[in-house]
Structure 1
Amino acid sequence: MPEKPTVLLTNAMHPDGEAILAPHVSLIVPPDARPETLRNFAGDADGIIVRAKLPDDIVDHAPRLKGIVRHGVGLDFIPVAAATAHGIAVANLPGSNTNAVAEYVMSALMYLRRPLYRLDKSLRSDGWNTARPAADSFTELSTTTLGILGVGTIGRHLAGIARGGFGMKVLGTSRRKGSLPAGIEEVSLADLFARSDAIAVCCALTDETRGMVSRDLIGRMKPSALLVNVSRGAVIETPALIDALKSQKIGGAALDVFDVQPLPSNDVLFDCPNLLLTPHTAGITATSGRAMAVGSAEEMLRILRGEQPLNLVNPAYKAA
């Protein structure tokens, strides 16, 4: 890197990551992550570190671009095919937020199954004798069944927590039959939804998984079953989930991802009962944030030095 290259951060990141980059590059953090803003700032960028969705045509506005690094795992924020065609390396950070997402799933299940916040509120407002009886309706996770849709890095880690920490039985489904680790019973997608007391959607968004959690599958769920989505909003047929929640055909749900993000303030999801909503933060904690910032900074410097990143996702870029 004879001259200081320029790196565009779609959003500010943990200071430790920026500190790694600062001696070697000029950092640009735009005022917002709107598509037109990112296009405007991309013109001078040699690298982009991605925390917000890039416009599909970003590479057409970035003639100097050598590398794009995902501050995280999911690649749907990056036009990988276009980057490859333009000879731009793309890297991500598999495993960087695995524990954070797995803990989110278990936290969501506890929130829905044993909502201690209700006892706290009742105790403060109504007193001891009124608050205590509410606990009789709470249920435990132990001895119940967790179904995992997408048994990749996150799904496997989640299975270990569910089995080892809570004593849950774990079911899973995979595109590659016979590939699931010991301790996860491999079942069909229909059986996963019919037999599980809680279902965690952890798969990547692809053409195959888009709309996979259909009205038919939701209709197979137990009346008390829970659904947690830490994948992408488009994996679930949202109108079917809304109908199931409003008609109380399932026990509840937790959604961290949505068809449209940010979630509009007037969205019908806000009116659904037994629904936990969070703003795409399952993988975000102080711990994972630092790990992703440091990892993405180090990957970006490798690319700018002409080295291969540790987690290159498009090796065909070299042929472009």
Structure 2
Amino acid sequence: MTTIKPRVLLTNPIHFELQSSLASRCELLLAPDPGFATIRRLAADVDAIVVRAQLPPDLFDHTPRLRAVVRHGVGLDMIPVEAATARGIPVANLPGSNTQTVVEYCLAAMLHLRRGVATLDATLRSDGWAAARPLADGGRELAGGTCGIVGVGAIGARLATVCTALGMNVLGLTRRPASLPAGVQAVDKQGLFSRSDVVVLCCPLTEQTRGLVDAATVASMKPGALLVNVSRGPVIDTEAVLRALREGRLGGAALDVHDRQPLAGTEAVFDAPNVLLTPHVAGISDTSMRAMSEAAIATLFALLRGERPPNVVNAEVFSQDLLRPALMVPTGAPEPGHG
């Protein structure tokens, strides 16, 4: 069988060196925008999609050639997995590929909110030493406090280790309490939110977690507590969080994910006090982008060859008659940047 170059769609760019490498091995399409109409049009005649944007819920009704979908990351809420399974299309994600980057973001956010280093810097520059130095009096150490982690998977477990090393007590809310790392106490939702000085949300968005942090939950949090959301925007009731910040009941919030993305700049979060806003970048660094892109390419070509990598999330498709024939595609990858 003659080796062919598959046709691959990127919903968004991947690491620039790995994107060049991928382009040497396939016919590469890069969506000019992540709109549903654009993705539907481009996906109609491709063999594979690398996903970094929300896919239309009906996409797989219009992709007769599609053989593989790879999430460039971990969260699967961007992909209608059940619809893919019904069409015999394997879907894979990249568990663990950005764990360290997200954990470092959480730590940076916690330190930012507790120590106000950026505010100290800005005040020193604008108003001088005498104005800036007293601001440090309001800072608080993380050590001795309690961090509550909602969703103790790869990210939550690594974060728990870091927090323990900093001298924090760690509580965990998870569906699998037996899998909690040593030193992490399993608690229910009420116990976690009422006892934690810092709550970090790193759970997936599901029907069970949508609206998990509602007004009553926010009201149960300790006065001055922090909330860090690296999960998904709809996991929290944003207005309830903003109201608690305005009333001084919460000490601060770091929001990397939002109800609607991208933010337009006019949303109420921009006027709330003690909020760190970032544009869904907790899992993005040069290091993690390279790792995710390498893993996405390797997984993509494995699926196209008809192989079953361990990170396939709907492995049942391999026992279905709907699974589309494998392609004879290259097995070796050129060096990044040499494609």
Counterparts of residues 192-231 of structure 1 (less than 5 Å): 192-231=192-231
The AA in structure 1 aligned to 2:289 is G
In the TM superposition, what are the counterparts of 1:108-257 in structure 2 within 5 Å? 108-164=109-165, 166-257=166-257
2:288 corresponding residue in structure 1 = 288
8 Å Cα contact 1:21/1:301 also seen in 2: no
In structure 1, how many angstroms separate the alpha carbons of the residues matched to 2:238 and 2:38? Answer: 30
Aligned sequence identity (%): 53
Whichever residue aligns with residue 316 of structure 1, its letter is E
Query: Residues 14-59 of structure 1, C-alpha deviation per residue, up to 9 Å, x if partnerless?
Result: 1332244233311110211111001111112100000111111111
Checking the alignment, whether the CA contact within 8 Å between 2:90 and 2:312 is kept in structure 1 is yes
Give the deviation of 1:128 after TM superposition.
2.1
Query: 2: CA distance between counterparts of 1:60 and 1:132?
Result: 61
The CA distance in 2 between the partners of 1:152 and 1:180, in whole Å, is: 9
SS in 1 for 2:179: coil
- RMSD over equivalenced CA pairs, Å: 1.3
**What's the offset of the Cα at 1:220?**
0.8
Q: Distance in 2 between matches of 1:238 and 1:201?
A: 13
AA of the residue aligned to 2:161:
G
Poorly superposed stretches of 4+, deviation over 4 Å: none
Partner in structure 2 of residue 307 of structure 1: 307
Distance 2:17 2:307 in 1: 22
What's the CA shift for 1:84?
0.5
Q: Counterpart amino acid of 2:227? A: L
Match of 2:303, as an amino acid? I
- CA positional deviation for 1:305: 1.2
Say which is worse superposed, 218-227 or 302-311, in terms of deviation: 302-311
Contact 2:308 2:315 survives alignment (8 Å) = no
Deviation at 1:97, TM superposition (A): 0.4
Rounded to whole Å, the distance in 2 between the matches of 1:206 and 1:259 is: 14
SS at structure 2 position matched to 1:251: strand
Distance 1:64 1:247 in 2: 55
Matched with 2:316 is: 316
Alpha-carbon distance between aligned partners in 1 of 2:21 and 2:127, rounded to the nearest angstrom? 53
Deviation at 1:289, TM superposition (A): 0.5
Amino acid at match of 2:182: A
Distance 1:179 1:297 in 2: 31
- TM-score normalised per structure 1: 0.96
Structure 1 partner of 2:4: 3
Q: CA deviation at 1:176?
A: 2.8
Between 139-148 and 125-134, the greater mean CA deviation after superposition: 125-134
Deviations along 1:113-137, one digit per CA (max 9) or x if unpaired, are 1011222222222222322111111
Q: How many Å separate the matches in 1 of 2:112 and 2:19?
A: 35
- The secondary structure found in structure 2 opposite 1:178 is helix
Stretches of structure 1 lacking an aligned partner (at least 5 in a row): none
Corresponding residue for residue 59 of structure 1:
60
- Paired residue type of 1:167: G
Give the count of matched residue pairs: 319
Mapped contact 1:299–1:310 kept (Cα < 8 A): no
Deviates more, 1:12-21 or 1:291-300: 12-21
1:255-312: per-residue Cα shift (whole Å, max 9, x none)?
Answer: 1111111123221111111111111110000100110111101100101111112311
The gaps in structure 2 that reach 5 residues or longer are: 323-339
Q: Which residue of 1 aligns with 2:268?
A: 268
Conservation of the 8 A alpha-carbon contact between 1:204 and 1:231: yes
2:85: which partner in 1?
84
Deviations 1:79-113 (A, max 9, x none): 10111111101000000000111111111111111
**Take 1:103 and 1:135, find their aligned partners in 2: how far apart are those partners?**
23
User: Structure 1 counterpart of 2:246, which letter?
Assistant: K
The separation in 1 between residues aligned to 2:239 and 2:117, in whole angstroms, is: 29
SS in 2 for 1:276: strand
Is the CA contact (8 Å cut-off) linking 1:173 and 1:192 kept in structure 2? yes
